[in-house]
Chain A
Amino acid sequence: MTLLVTVFAAVICSILWYKGAPKDEMRLSSLCFMLWGASIMWFVDAIFEYAELGAEFFNVAGADMLNDLYLGLSVIALALIIWIVTLFIKDPKGIVRATIMKKN
């Protein structure tokens, strides 16, 4: 479930990046790389788990699925936080800098 949530987020993010490409003013490419990187890693984890459990891998209990969904959403939230903090630090449009200068 965590893998699925991350893959969906990575695909949506990639579509948003593609719409604005090649400009990438919002640095969406960084978020895409982060989510795709995590998706690949969880995919490997899933393959090893499948090799160990076999068909049992797909029989997930409802409570476990809910917990995995909660984890997946939390992972996306963390990825978004990392992305927004990086965006504000790098400040490609100079908006944060301009706002601070205006206040002073």
Chain B
Amino acid sequence: MACFTVPVAEAIVTTAITKIVKSKEKAGESSSKGEVMKVKLSEKLSWLNKMLLGGSALLAFEHVWHGEVIPAFPFLTAVTNGETSEMLHEMGTVGVTMSVLVTLVWVGMVAISSALEKRKTEDTVTMGGVRS
């Protein structure tokens, strides 16, 4: 019905957070020079944004296909047909689960990425120790 709106809402929030983090990273860029190469937090957040926005865009298309989204106000057939409570229930169950699962997958990706970065940092430190 309108489950894709929940990931869209999350994507709007995470995009705003990404913009803030990016501007903060730009401000502190000069002080971090010389550190071991790491994937920036803004870059990691952009992975989540792309999954949420891209996924919900394709899902929105599916809803248009099935006639659940219409090009006229209120844009949702469920609202026009008086099925608002069912729609809200679906958003609260399916929509929230979609957002949670996408976020969990992203958390997993960030954890793997951080573990790899940590290992690389340790390797660099060890190699430096051997050389000296």
Contact = CB atoms under 8 A, between A and B. Distances in A.
Interface of A: 2, 6, 29-30, 33-45, 47-48, 71, 74-75, 78-79, 82
A28 to B, nearest CB: 12
27 contacts: A2-B62, A6-B58, A30-B54, A33-B50, A33-B54, A34-B51, A34-B53, A34-B57, A36-B55, A36-B105, A37-B50, A37-B51, A37-B58, A37-B102, A39-B55, A40-B55, A40-B98, A41-B101, A42-B59, A43-B101, A44-B94, A44-B98, A44-B101, A48-B93, A48-B97, A71-B62, A82-B57
A45 B94 contact: yes
Nearest to B7: A41
Nearest to B105: A40
Contacts of A35: 54, 58
Interface in B77-113: 93-94, 97-98, 101-102, 105
A65 B89 CA distance: 27
Contacts, number: 78
B98 A38 contact: no
B61 A41 contact: no
Nearest to B65: A71
Nearest to A6: B58
The 10 A-B residue pairs with the shortest CB-CB distance in the complex, in nearest-first order: A34-B54, A37-B55, A37-B51, A33-B50, A38-B58, A38-B55, A41-B98, A44-B98, A41-B55, A33-B51
A74 B50 contact: no
Contacts of A43: 101
Contact of A37 (B3, B52, B97): B52
Contacts of A47: 97
Nearest to A37: B55
A78 B60 CA distance: 11
Given A34-B54, A37-B102, A82-B54, A45 B3 contact: yes
A33 B47 contact: yes
B102 A40 contact: yes
